[in-house]
Structure 1
Amino acid sequence: MRAAGIVAVAGVGLTACGSDADQAVGDAVSDAASSAAGAVKDLAKKADIPVGGGKVFDSAKVVITQPTEGDYKAFSAVCTHQGCTVSGVEGGTINCACHGSTFDIATGEVKGGPATKALPEKKVTVGADGISVT
């Protein structure tokens, strides 16, 4: 009886780690993050976003980057792996401190796992000095 319980618990642990269920949870988190945040007018000033870098806006669950001068991008700040908010932008990548996933600052594509899906892109509108995201 005791051995059967151990096997069942071990089986659950193995099933949960890296399974299709994890991917489904990641997909649901990504989809929810994509649609949850509405328009955020003048979220940042252009001077706040360094060329080749970016900034995470935790309260809006958005990360804004500037891969090349004058080219602003925005992505969901919710990691597609397990729903953590990404921690920062450094070295040309958007970084998640929870499990080490990294994403390209220009495309949101995965550069390093465990995430397997890109960060959903947001629409960026650049005004005279403010950056708005929808």
Structure 2
Amino acid sequence: MSEDQAVTGADAPSRRALLLGAGAVGATVALGGCGTGNDKDLGDGGGTGSPQSASGSPQGGGSNPGAAPLAKKGEIPVGGGKIFAKEGVVVTQPTAGEFKGFSNICTHQGCPVSSIDAGTITCTCHFSKFSIEDGSVKGGPAKRPLPAKDVKVEGDNIVLA
């Protein structure tokens, strides 16, 4: 059979088979874009992960001995902070020697926060602003604060607790 001849008869795929195949490919592509594979914590306190205490740490977890350091104390500016996207945490230092941890996911629509300036953590998706002191909303559209994440100082290092 030459390349320009149409496939007909028993060798031709049915219209139903072609449509089902195209639908299966489309569904696979659509579902592949639905998530990152890690939907345990959307940062809004309503995730599907393990139960959490009011401070945002897993209940019954205790300390995290030997945890990899997030940063050195000197790397977190007083009155500012630093975003650790891979670890899902924002570490701030509202006053000298006081370190706070918060989720890096905005409670408005789940975008990662992107900057810290003038005492606020900002999500540039819709410009919600949160306090570096307690994660409270300083400017909407977010209505809920950033959930706290426990951090602690071990020597000169800041680690997740």
Q: The TM-score by the shorter chain falls in which range?
A: 0.7 to 0.9
- Structure 1 pair 33/62, CA: closer, same or farther in 2 (3 Å)? farther
Whichever structure has more helix as a proportion of its residues is: 1
Question: 5+ residue gaps in structure 2?
Answer: 1-40, 59-63
Stretches of structure 1 lacking an aligned partner (at least 5 in a row) = 1-27
Give the greater-gyration-radius structure (CA): 2
Same amino acid, percent of matched pairs: 50
Q: Deviations over 1:11-66 (max 9, x none)?
A: xxxxxxxxxxxxxxxxx831229859986531111111000000000111100000
Instruction: Please report the TM-score for the alignment, with normalisation by the length of structure 1.
Output: 0.73
Distance (whole Å) between structure 2 residues aligned to residue 110 and residue 58 of structure 1: 20
Counterpart residue number, 2:124: 97
Q: Which has the higher contact order (CA 8 A, sep 6+)?
A: 1
Query: CA 1:61/1:46 → structure 2, altered by over 3 Å: closer, same or farther?
Result: same
Pairs aligned (count): 107
Higher strand share: 1
* Runs of 4+ off more than 3 Å: 33-41
The residue identity in structure 2 corresponding to 1:103 is F
Cα distance in 2, alignment partners of residues 48 and 61 from structure 1: 17
Shift of the 71–116 alpha-carbon distance from structure 1 to 2, 3 Å rule, reads: same
Supply the distance in 2 between the matched residues of 1:101 and 1:95 (Cα, whole angstroms): 6
Cα deviation digits, residues 75-128 of structure 1 (max 9, x gap)? 000000000110011010001010000000000000000000000001121011
**What aligned pairs does 1:1-134 form with structure 2 within 5 A after superposition?**
29=42, 30-31=44-45, 32=47, 41-134=68-161
Partner of 2:3: none
Please give the TM-score of this superposition, normalised by the length of structure 2.
Answer: 0.61
